[in-house]
Amino acid sequence: MAMTQWELYDAIVVGAGIQGCFTTYHFTKNKRKVLLLEQVMSAPSAQGSPSPTIPTKNRGSKRQCWRERERETVRERTGILMMGRKEEAEFHTTLDTLSKHGVEHKYFDPEELKRCFPNIRLPPGHGGIWEPSGGALCADKALKALQDLIRQLGGVIHDGEKVTEIKPGFPVTVTTTTSTYQAKSLVITAGPWTNQLLLPLGIQLPLQTLRINVCYWKEKVPGTYGENFPCFVAVFPDLIPHHIYGLPAREYPGLVKICYHHGNKVDPDERDCPSASPDLTDVRILSGFVRDYFPGLQPQPAIMECCMYTNTPDDNFILDRHPKHANIVIGAGFSGHGFKLSPVVGKVLYELSSESTLSYDLTPFRIRRFKHQDKASL
């Protein structure tokens, strides 16, 4: 009996979120034949975790890429304000990082901050780092612009095809609910569904899926927190265990997005907001924060939506090859802060998959850092 012959791709990418899209983009940019698979008919941002463009160490290529996309209205420059105590390690590190890389910024003591942003009330001893070039990424627009570019460059995107089986080897064979494909390499960027795909391949990563309550808060006076208000990050470890971040009232008129950078465990296939007895501990924390620090907002959320984080134990990404199958590459565990770094992540995953020279030291992102985990899982 003759064997079935399938079209051979240079790479198949599973998962059309922002990481998968940028990985696919780098394949098409380098004139490689690539197929991007997505299990739903579209890839809405509510399944991921868009965030303000917080200052980070890997600024160069990430910042340039988003500036190139800015003309496509995927990035809004609002400036970004980090609030906290100057003595805190993260606050101090951010100041040092911005200075080291020559990024324009200014430190505000409480009185200066009050003059610049009178609708923010900070406790004594706190201040802010203002970065005027910061802003917000419009997740849905970014994904659409990137997918349009992938198609223009010859990439193939199949929505509505859930992967049902992966057969490792060379080539690797991927079966979906619709068809079967083969490729020289496979990149898995499946977010919360990563371990479901990896289990038959003999590996389970220490990933935890969290449901995040995305809350919007109504202005008491329309326009107070709109056009001239920045994105912000509040780092108060002595008062609040996790970060709080916010975006100005643009997505919904008159509503400011303020969210807690943590949530509750959830099965990714049951990601929608629960209908009964939800855990609203985070919302209570946010209500107290809004009441105390943002007096111009109603202290109860006007709208609540949900998204998902896929966290690692150390909140660093996983960017690595499968330990036994070198042509299967994994990008996972973006822990709620991966969106802004996706241009660099996509480049790294492409380099891993195509055996190109790596642009960065990936030691902090290798699977082996979890060697203390149960070896049967890894």
Q: How far is CA 43 from the centre of its chain?
A: 13
The pairing of strands 8-14 and 34-37 is parallel
Give CA–CA dist 54/154, Å, rounded. 33
Residue 52 β-bridge partners: 136
323 CB neighbour count, 10 Å cutoff: 15
Q: Are 45 and 221 in contact (CB under 8 A)?
A: no
| Domains along the sequence of the chain with CATH | 8-46+139-206+314-370 (3.50.50.60), 49-137+208-311 (3.30.9.10)
Q: Taking phi first (over 0 means left), then psi (-120 to 50 degrees means alpha), and beta for anything else, what does residue 335 get?
A: left
Q: Rounded to whole angstroms, what are the CA distances from 251 to 73, 260, 277?
A: 13, 18, 28
The pLDDT value recorded for residue 42 is 63
**Helix ranges, 7-59 (H):** 18-29
Give CA–CA dist 256/307, Å, rounded. 17
Q: Rounded to whole angstroms, what are the CA distances from 125 to 80, 107, 128, 269, 291?
A: 20, 13, 11, 44, 19
What 3-state class would DSSP assign to 290? helix
The pLDDT value recorded for residue 270 is 75
The pLDDT value recorded for residue 61 is 55
User: What are phi and psi for residue 273, nearest 5 degrees?
Assistant: -55, 135
The pLDDT value recorded for residue 74 is 76
* Prediction pTM value: 0.87
Print pLDDT tens along the chain (378 aa). 344 567 899 999 999 999 999 999 999 999 999 999 999 876 444 444 444 544 444 445 555 555 555 554 678 889 999 999 888 899 989 999 999 999 999 999 888 998 999 999 988 889 999 999 999 888 889 999 999 999 999 999 999 999 999 999 999 999 999 999 999 999 999 999 999 999 999 999 999 999 999 999 999 999 999 888 999 999 988 888 899 999 999 889 999 999 999 998 988 887 655 444 467 899 999 999 999 999 999 999 999 998 999 999 999 999 999 999 999 999 999 999 999 999 999 999 999 999 899 999 999 999 999 986 644 455
